Amino acid sequence: MSPRSCPLMTRVLRRLAWLAPLLGSGLMASTLVPGITEPLRDSLLSASAAGTVRAVNVKEGDRVAADAVILELDKAIEELEVARRRVVYESRVELEAAEQRAALLRAEAESNRRLMGGSGTVSREEYERKELEAKLALAERDQLAAAKERERIEYEMAQEQLARRSVRAPYAGVITDVRIDLGEACEPRQAVVRIVDLSRAYFVANLAPALCSGLAAGREVALHIETATGVREVRGTIEYVAPVVDAGSGLRRVKAVFDNADGAIAPGALGHMVVE
C-alpha cells in the first residue's frame, strides 16, 4: 500500500516532514524529545458577587492590560453607599472643633498652673477645674478621632463591595472565551471569562530518566516548535523536572519556559526539545 492510498500515513509523513532540516543540520546527533506547548497562565475568571451583567467590555480575541475591567455587574446601590460613606468620612468639622477646644483648654490649664505657683492669683480649685475640663476635652477629641477611623474603615469596606461588582484582568493577556452576556444573571464563583497569557509559555515534554541526568532548573535548552509559518527555534529555560518517574509511562515530566512576546507560538503547538 502506497502512502498516497492511506490518509493516516499521509498525515504522519506531513508531521515528520518538518524534521528534515534538523536531520540535515546534524541535530539528530542529539536527542529530540517531542512535546507540546502550554500557556504560562490560563485562568477562568469569576465574579465575587451575584448580580445582573450590566456591561461586557471585551470580546473573544481581545488583548487586555492587567487590571482592565472585563465585566461589570449592576452596582447603583454600591456606588451610592460609597458616596455616602465618603461624605461622612471626609466631614471633619466636629473633630477639628474638638481639637481646637482641647488645645485651648490645655493652654488655659497650663497658664493657671503657672499663675497658681507664681503670683497666686489663681486658686487651686480653679486650676483643678480647668485641668479637668482640659482632660475631658482631650477625651472627647480622642473619641471623635476613633469614630473618624471607623468611618474610614467603613468607607474602604464600601469601596471593596463596589469593586466586587466588577471582574478585572489579573494580568495582561488575550480573552479566549466569554461565557456570559449583557443582562444575564451571574452567580458568585461562576466562570464567566477565560484569559490566557501568551507573552511566555511552557514547553512540556516527557523524558526517559536517563535523559534527565544533565537537566536541572535554570539550564537553557533549544526548542523547535511548529508555527503557522514553519518551525521556529527558540531558547527555553528548564523550570521544572519531575522528581518522580510516572508509574504508567516510566517517564519524567519536564517543563521549559520560553519567551513568546509576539504570540506567534500558539498553546498546544507540537515541537521537540533538543537534549544533548
- Look at the block and give the residue holding cell 460613606: 85
Predicted confidence at residue 14, as pLDDT, reads: 52
Predicted confidence at residue 118, as pLDDT, reads: 63
- For residue 89, give its domain range: 76-163
Residue 133 covered by a domain: yes
Mind giving me the DSSP string for 34-92? EEEEEEEEEEEEE-SS-EEEEEE---TT-EE-TT-EEEEE--HHHHHHHHHHHHHHH--
Sign of the CA dihedral with 170 first, then 175, 179, and 183 last: positive
Same domain, 90 and 12: no
Predicted confidence at residue 11, as pLDDT, reads: 47
Predicted confidence at residue 16, as pLDDT, reads: 46
Same domain, 27 and 92: no
Same domain, 156 and 104: yes
Q: To 10 degrees, the CA torsion angle through 222, 228, 229, 230?
A: 40
HSE-CB of 62 using CA atoms within 13 angstroms: 16
Same domain, 205 and 258: yes
Q: Beta 191-207 vs 173-178: how paired, if at all?
A: antiparallel
Same domain, 85 and 156: yes
Burial of 226 (0-12, 13-18, 19+ CB in 10 A): middle
Predicted confidence at residue 138, as pLDDT, reads: 87
Same domain, 36 and 81: no
pTM of the model: 0.69
Q: What CATH number should be reported for the domain holding residue 251?
A: 2.40.30.170
Among residues 163, 187, 221, the one where a domain terminates is: 163
Residue 222 covered by a domain: yes
Predicted confidence at residue 135, as pLDDT, reads: 87
Residue 54 covered by a domain: no
Same domain, 148 and 222: no
In whole angstroms, what is the distance from residue 128 CA to residue 256 CA?
78
Predicted confidence at residue 117, as pLDDT, reads: 65
Residue 61 covered by a domain: no
- Region of poorest pLDDT, from 102-106, 174-178, 202-206, 266-270: 102-106
Tens-digit pLDDT profile for residues 5-36: 455 444 434 554 544 454 444 444 578 999 99
Residue with the bigger pLDDT between 267 and 11: it is 267
Residue 181 covered by a domain: no
Nearest to 148 by CA among 66, 81, 98, 88: 88
Percent of the chain with pLDDT over 90: 60
Tens-digit pLDDT profile for residues 100-139: 888 888 888 788 777 776 666 777 787 778 788 888 888 8
Asked if residues 170 and 195 have their Cβ atoms less than 8 Å apart, the reply is yes
Overall domain count for the chain:
2
Between the alpha carbon of residue 87 and those of residues 76, 119, 144, 156, 267, the distances in Å are 17, 50, 16, 13, 50
Predicted confidence at residue 202, as pLDDT, reads: 96
- Going by pLDDT thresholds of 50, 70 and 90, the confidence category of residue 4 is very low
Kindly report the average pLDDT of the chain as a whole number.
86
Residue 170 covered by a domain: no
Among residues 140, 163, 186, the one where a domain terminates is: 163
Asked if residues 173 and 42 have their Cβ atoms less than 8 Å apart, the reply is no
- Going by pLDDT thresholds of 50, 70 and 90, the confidence category of residue 155 is very high
Tens-digit pLDDT profile for residues 204-225: 999 999 888 888 999 999 999 9
Residue 224 covered by a domain: yes
Same domain, 22 and 94: no
In whole angstroms, what is the distance from residue 126 CA to residue 132 CA?
10
Predicted confidence at residue 128, as pLDDT, reads: 79
Same domain, 271 and 204: yes
Average of pLDDT values for 34-53? 94
Among residues 163, 185, 215, the one where a domain terminates is: 163
